[in-house]
Amino acid sequence: MIVVTGGAGFIGSAVIESLNKRGITDILIVDRLGTSEKWHNLVTLQYLDFIHKDNFLGLLESEAFGSSIDVIFHLGACSSTTEHNADYLIENNFHYTLRIGKWWHKHSRVRFIYASSAATYGNGENGYSDDLQTINKLHPLNMYGYSKHLFDLYAHREGWLEKIVGLKFFNVFGPNEYHKGDMRSVISKAYPGVRDNGVMSLFKSYRSDYQDGGQLRDFIYVKDAVEMTLFFMDNQRVGGIYNIGTGKARSWNDLAKAIFAAAGKQPRIEYIPMPSNLQEKYQYFTEANLERLRAAGCKHKCMSLEDAVKDYVRYLSSGKYLGEL
C-alpha cells in the first residue's frame, strides 16, 4: 500500500493520478478537506480509503496498518509562505513530519519520501545546491521555510538521509491548485484577467539590478515535478535531499508573455507596488541546481515554460477549472 499525505492537495493529487495511470490503486489518502473545494481533486482518483490527517498519526503509531505500508509520500503541509502562526507551522510541518520519520525509523523497509521546500534556501546567498554540506548554512526568510528546514536538519543529524528522500520543490504550477487561495501560482490567479480584460499585474522591482518583472524564478510544471518525484519510488536505493525544478530560471515577464500567448492575447502588463511586508523577504532569484539529481540517475527532461503554460492554460479554459467557484 502507498500512503499519500496531502493526497487531496495540489501535488499529492497529481502524484496519485500518475500512480493510477500505472495501474496502482492500493493508495491511502491522508488529508483534511474542511469546507474547501479541495474534495474535487479526489473525484477522478482511484484509492482504497481516505483518513483525516488528525487521525492518521495515531493509527500509524499504534501499528493499525500492520506491515501493509510500502511507501509513504508525505506531501501534506501548511504551504502558506505568509502564515504568521509559528506554533502552528512547527506542529504541522515539523513535528508531524518528525512523528512519521520516527515511525519510519522502526520500519526502515518502508520507502519514505517527504516534501521539503526551496524556501529553505532563503535569499540564495549560499546558492541553491542540495549538497548536504551546505545544509547548516541555510537561512530561510520566512517561518514556512524554517519549519521545513527543521526536519531537513533533524534527518541529516540522525543519518536518515542515507535512506529517505526530501524533495525541495521550486515554483510548481498546474492543475488542481485552485483551492490554494493566495498561494496559487500567478498563472492560476492571472488567467481570468488575461482572458477577460487582456491585462495582468506583476510586482515592481526594488533592486536596481532587476527591471520590473525581471525577477527570476525556477518555474516547474506539476507534471514534471511528479515524474521527478516518482523516480525516487522507482529507485529505492537513492537517499538524500534533492531539488525539484527545471534548472533554468525565467523571469516573471517571460511567464506573463507565455500566458498572453497561450490565451491568444497581446501582452499588457501593469507593474504594481510590492507590499511593504514582502519587500525584505522577497526572493529575486531562484534556480534549482540539478547536478545531484542527474547524478542519482533522474534524466527527466522538463517541458519548456512556454509549452507548460500553454498546456495549463488549455486546462484552465476547458471548463474543469474550479478556481472561480
* Residue 301 pLDDT exceeds 60: yes
3-class DSSP state of 107: coil
* Residue 193 pLDDT exceeds 80: yes
> What pLDDT, on the 0 to 100 scale, is given for residue 280?
79
Mean pLDDT of the region 292-311: 98
Residue, of 123 and 277, whose pLDDT is higher: 123
> What pLDDT, on the 0 to 100 scale, is given for residue 251?
98
Percent of the chain with pLDDT over 90: 88
Residue, of 141 and 293, whose pLDDT is higher: 293
Predicted TM-score of the model (pTM): 0.95
Mean pLDDT of the region 201-227: 97
Question: Which cell goes with 303?
Answer: 517541458
Under the banding of pLDDT at 50, 70 and 90, the label for residue 37 is: confident
* Residue 226 pLDDT exceeds 90: yes
Q: Is 310 noted as a catalytic residue in this protein?
A: no
Among the listed residues 163, 168, 180, 189, the single catalytic one is 180
| Cα 170 from Cα 311, distance rounded (Å) | 19
- Residues linked to residue 172 through DSSP beta bridges, in sequence order: 220
> What pLDDT, on the 0 to 100 scale, is given for residue 325?
35
Q: Where are the beta strands (DSSP E) in the chain?
A: 2-5, 27-31, 49-52, 71-74, 111-115, 165-169, 171-173, 200-203, 216-217, 219-221, 240-244, 250-251, 269-272
- For 135-163, letters b (16+ CB in 10 Å) and e give beebebbbbbbbbbbbbbebbbeeebbeb
| Cα 225 from Cα 174, distance rounded (Å) | 10
Under the banding of pLDDT at 50, 70 and 90, the label for residue 72 is: very high
Among the listed residues 47, 144, 191, 242, the single catalytic one is 144
Q: What angle do CA 147, 152, 153 make, to 5 degrees?
A: 95
Q: Are 74 and 97 in contact (CB under 8 A)?
A: yes
* Residue 215 pLDDT exceeds 70: yes
What residue ranges define each of the domains in the chain, with the CATH number in brackets?
2-172+218-247+286-303 (3.40.50.720), 181-216+249-284+309-316 (3.90.25)
> What pLDDT, on the 0 to 100 scale, is given for residue 36?
84
| Cα 194 from Cα 215, distance rounded (Å) | 20
On the CB side of 180, CA atoms within 13 Å amount to 28
> What pLDDT, on the 0 to 100 scale, is given for residue 320?
65
* Residue 191 pLDDT exceeds 60: yes
| Cα 175 from Cα 188, distance rounded (Å) | 9
Among 293, 300, 305, 284, smallest CA distance to 243 is for 293
* Residue 99 pLDDT exceeds 60: yes
Greatest mean pLDDT among 78-87, 129-138, 315-324? 129-138
* Residue 321 pLDDT exceeds 60: no
> What pLDDT, on the 0 to 100 scale, is given for residue 81?
77
Q: Is 281 noted as a catalytic residue in this protein?
A: no
Average pLDDT, the chain: 94
